Amino acid sequence: MKALVIQHDHVSPTGPVGRRLEHHGFEITEFLVVPKESFKSPNVTVEFPNPDDFDLVVFLGAPWGAWDDGCIGNWLTPEIEMCRDLVTASKPVLGICFGGQLMARALGGTVAPGQHPEIGWTYIWSDDHDLLSNGPWFQFHYDRFTVPPGAKEIARNPVAPQAFTINRSMGVQFHPELDSAALKGWLDEGGWPSVEKDHQDGEIMLAQTEAEDAAGEARTYALIDAFLTKVAKLV
């Protein structure tokens, strides 16, 4: 089986999500949307791979908003169309953070800035613990989505909806792919001021994430196993 992973920036590795997909025999193709040299001016023109060549498409997170056509519309608009076509055709899609927001927007939900950001390890409230545990899961987002028509909300917290399923696809607000190495990359690429502005200590957050790596990986493995079996129906 083949999986296409859409990486929107140069500091978003697949982490334990990618490792678990490889465990299940997936050949992963990573496609970078915004190269490092365009990070400060991300409205690039992109020709996406043909998603029909893959059994699964994963849309990862991004530091930009899935509502912000003015900033990233050159590639956001065709990506939304691609996501909509895949999900409505019952082809498996996994949307993570920005990817979940993009999926919600593509299917008729909304995406907008939230009242305040979610940054760090948080618990969620899941309706289906066989598919998705309460966590904790790592969050790093400023926006929130509304669950699109026809989708089933399966998790939430007091800040925002956290996960939904529709057809053979799933969107989540948190970052199951996150490990301490990825967090260090995010912080070094401009994340330190964001954490400080949220009145948190980035060094402590990084140390906490290092301590959480093994348990977080296990939670992500369980999520990917259940997604592939119960939602995507690929294994």
- pLDDT tens by residue, 39-56: 999 999 999 999 999 999
Catalytic residue among 177, 199, 203, 212: 177
Predicted pLDDT at 104? 98
Angle between helices 98-106 and 69-88 (to 10 degrees): 70
Residue 116 has pLDDT above 90, yes or no: no
Element (H, E) at 210: helix 202-226
Q: Is residue 174 within 8 Å of 148, Cβ to Cβ? A: no
Mean pLDDT for all residues in the chain: 97
Q: Which pTM does this prediction carry? A: 0.97
Long-range contacts of 17-21 (CB under 8 A, 24+ apart): 17/58, 17/94, 17/96, 17/176, 17/177, 17/220, 17/224, 18/177, 19/217, 20/220, 20/221, 20/224, 20/225, 21/56, 21/58, 21/224
Mean pLDDT of 188-201: 95
Residue 167 has pLDDT above 90, yes or no: yes
- pLDDT tens by residue, 52-90: 999 999 999 999 999 999 999 999 999 999 999 999 999
Whether 199 sits among the annotated catalytic residues: the reply is no
Whether 97 sits among the annotated catalytic residues: the reply is yes
Q: Domain locations in the chain?
A: 2-231
Determine the Cα–Cα distance for residues 206 and 196; give it in Å rounded to an integer.
13
2-231, what's its fold?
Rossmann fold (3.40.50)
Residue 115 has pLDDT above 90, yes or no: no
Q: Which two tokens stand for residue 56?
A: 């699964």
Q: What single DSSP character describes residue 130?
A: T
Catalytic residue among 8, 79, 97, 118: 97
Catalytic residue among 8, 79, 118, 175: 175
- pLDDT tens by residue, 132-158: 999 999 999 999 999 999 999 999 999
Mean pLDDT of 116-127: 96
Predicted pLDDT at 60? 98
